[in-house]
């Protein structure tokens, strides 16, 4: 089985994937980390020097490679991964893939992201919390179609990572 975590940026995909990987004793691949390793640059540097389109093409290539791995694993996507090109179709057509949406409200995600917006190339230009709220609200509306095609949805608000992982493990049984 390939357990694929999706959700908006700031939803905790990487952190939950780390906990889930340990809990299930499965290898972990974080898409953004994998891309950074391949390119030998941070995601922010890739966006700045090569652009988002280059990043999205690379993202699809890495997604295809991971789905072809002949092992069970935990895979954390980037926030926009299922929303670009044929990525969602790639995931949904893979017989061993289980996509899990880590769902948070606009307010919850905005609060989380505002504290770290300077580290996130997609939102580092936003000046105020209100601008970020509008940005997140618009993106969640646009991406909802893709996220809601996940096999499972987990509400993440007010929960510790261990609780979220326990819910995922229980739902996968």
The domain tally of the chain equals 1
Instruction: For 116-168, give the DSSP string.
Output: TGGG-TTTTT--SHHHHHHHHHHHHHHHHHHHTTSSEEEE-TT--HHHHHHHH
Q: Tell me, yes or no, whether 96 lies in a domain.
A: yes
- Decide if pLDDT at 121 tops 80: no
Domain contains 68: yes
Nearest to 122 by CA among 86, 89, 84: 84
Tokens representing 78 are: 């980037």
pLDDT at 31: 95
Confidence of residue 15 (pLDDT cuts 50, 70, 90): very high
Q: What are phi and psi of 17, to 5 degrees?
A: -60, -40
Q: What gap in Å lies between CA 76 and CA 53, rounded to an integer?
A: 20
* Residue 51 host element (H or E): helix 43-68
Q: Is residue 142 part of a domain?
A: no
Whether residue 41 is contained in a domain is answered as yes
Smallest CA-to-CA distance from 24 within 107, 98, 101, 77 is with 98
Looking at the predicted structure, is the pLDDT value of residue 99 above 80?
A: yes
Q: Tell whether the torsion through CA atoms of 169, 23, 62 and 81 is positive or negative.
A: positive
Q: What is the pLDDT of residue 44?
A: 83
Does 31 map to a domain? yes
Task: State the DSSP H helix or E strand holding residue 2, giving kind and residue range, or none if neither.
Answer: strand 2-6
* Mean of all residue pLDDT scores within the chain: 94
In tens, the pLDDT along 133-162 reads 999 999 999 999 999 999 999 999 999 999
- Expressed as residue numbers, the domain containing 10 is 2-103+147-172
Determine the Cα–Cα distance for residues 44 and 41; give it in Å rounded to an integer: 8
Asked whether residue 155 is assigned to any structural domain, the reply reads yes
Residue 110 within any structural domain of the chain: no
Asked if 85 and 61 count as a contact pair (C-beta separation under 8 A), the reply is no
Query: CATH code at 53?
Result: 3.40.50.300
pTM: 0.93
Element (H, E) at 98: strand 97-103
Q: Which DSSP helix (H) or strand (E) runs through 30?
A: strand 28-30
pLDDT at residue 73 in the model = 97
* Token reading at 152: 């499972």
The verdict on residue 38 lying in a domain is yes
pLDDT digits (tens, 9 = 90+) for 33-86: 999 999 999 888 998 899 889 999 999 999 999 999 999 999 999 999 999 999
């Amino acid at each position: 089985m390939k357990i694929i975590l999706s959700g908006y940026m700031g939803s905790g995909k990487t952190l939950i994937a780390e906990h889930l990987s340990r809990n299930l004793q499965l290898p972990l691949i974080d898409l953004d980390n994998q891309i950074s390793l391949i390119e030998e640059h941070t995601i922010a540097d890739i966006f700045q020097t090569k652009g988002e389109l280059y990043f999205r093409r690379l993202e699809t290539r890495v997604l295809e490679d991971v789905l072809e791995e002949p092992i069970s694993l935990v895979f954390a996507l980037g926030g926009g991964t299922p929303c670009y090109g044929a990525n969602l179709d790639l995931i949904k057509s893979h017989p061993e893939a289980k996509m899990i949406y880590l769902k948070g409200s606009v307010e919850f995600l905005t609060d989380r992201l505002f504290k770290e917006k300077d580290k996130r190339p997609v939102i580092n230009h936003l000046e105020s919390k209100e601008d970020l709220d509008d940005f997140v609200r618009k993106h969640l509306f646009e991406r909802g179609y893709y996220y809601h095609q996940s096999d499972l949805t987990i509400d993440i608000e007010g929960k510790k990572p261990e609780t979220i992982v326990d819910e995922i493990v229980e739902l996968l049984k």
